Amino acid sequence: MSRNAKVAGMRRLEGMTALVTGATRGVGRGCAVELAAQGASVTITGRTEREGDSRWPGSLESTCVEARELGGQIEGVVCDHRDDEQVAAAFERVTRDKGRLDLLVNNAFLIPDDMDPKVPFWESSLDCWDDMHQVGARSAYVATWLAAPIMIEQGSGLIANVSSQGARYYTLHPAYGAAKAALDRITRDCGHELEAHGVVTVSIWPSFVTTERMLALDPEEWELDLDGAESPRFTGRGIAELLCDDHLMAKSGRVLTTRQLADEYQFVDGDGSLPNGAPDPGDPGPLLAPD
């Protein structure tokens, strides 16, 4: 897991392989770019292949261009995480081409374009639940299910689920909170079963992130205060630190905020700032099954 921890410089993840889901934009894109910049060989998935294919900026193509401009190794795979066969094919491609998988970042999450946080849940479509649980909780479970045998065979691996404070505090919509809470539970329970095999699972809570979607909103209309927000790459910096931690297993099954990671590993955002961070999720206690 941490065999490259002592490699000097920003290329310390050289030789490691990573798969980041939902990396066309937002936190997924930031993670992919940061991990590639630090030397990992990164594969990304997403539905938007080229700019203009979606109403939102960001694509597999532009993510790869950004990472390669920083000297990173990266390739994109068109993949709809509602389709298990497409997801399985992406994992088969990684194992065939790379031979191993050191890191899985489960970031894919579908927030419906027509979801309005100002509309009460009983007036919103039931699709809100289906979308965020299918591409969010379920897609993370499917990817973890596929990654587990690969990592168990090699005796190591890190699975990082991009969750949020919505798992514990009201955010956006009840369906959003339920999906994020499910992610944290997947982290905890899968971690319990994977611990004996040397595979680590963590949930990571970014705080407010300057994603393409966030920057497209009217700050006054949505009452947004981005002072102290973090860049999409900040989460990737935290995950890179985890990969280089010789005592990572002690964190398995836990929820960690990006700010907690920054404080522990002493890193800052790309502009030199230290974002405010999400609320402290608290210590969930040891990974134990009932007697």
CATH number at residue 103: 3.40.50.720
Pair of tokens at residue 228: 């102290």
Measure the CA–CA gap between 5 and 222, rounded to whole angstroms. 42
Residue 12 in any domain: the answer is no
Q: The tokens 């030397």 sit on which residue?
A: 39
In a domain? residue 5: no
Kindly tell me the burial class for residue 246, based on how many C-beta atoms sit within 10 Å of its own C-beta (0-12, 13-18, 19 or more).
exposed
**Helices assigned H by DSSP within the chain:** 26-37, 60-69, 84-98, 127-132, 139-154, 174-194, 212-215, 219-222, 233-243, 258-265
In a domain? residue 41: yes
Does some domain include residue 281?
no
> In angstroms, rounded to a whole number, what is the distance separating the alpha carbons of residues 119 and 159?
34
On whether the CB atoms of residues 57 and 25 are closer than 8 A, the answer is: yes
pTM of the complete model beyond 0.75: yes
The b/e string for 17-42 (b: 16+ C-beta within 10 A; e otherwise) is bbbbbbbbbbbbbbbbbbbbbbbbbb
Answer whether residue 125 is part of any domain. Answer: yes
Number of helices (H), then strands (E), belonging to the chain: the values are 10, 7
In this predicted structure, which of 131-140, 205-214, 280-289 has the lowest mean pLDDT? 280-289
Tens digits of per-residue pLDDT, 55-73?
Answer: 889 999 999 999 999 999 9
Q: Is residue 66 domain-resident?
A: yes
**Cα 153 from Cα 151, distance rounded (Å):** 5
Catalytic residues: 176
Specify if 239 maps to a domain: yes
> In this predicted model, what pLDDT tens digit does every residue of 142-185 receive, in sequence order?
999 999 999 999 999 999 999 999 999 998 899 999 999 999 99
* Total domains in the fold of the chain: 1
Domain carrying residue 211 = 17-265
Q: How far is CA 66 from CA 39, 152, 205, 234, 264, in A?
A: 14, 32, 24, 16, 28
Residue 169 gets which letter from DSSP?
Answer: S
Judge whether 2 lies within some domain: no
Q: What is the mean pLDDT of residues 62-88?
A: 97
Taking only the tens place, the pLDDT of each residue in 209-236 is 887 777 676 666 666 677 788 999 999 9
pLDDT digits (tens, 9 = 90+) for 244-280: 999 999 999 999 999 999 999 999 999 999 998 888 8
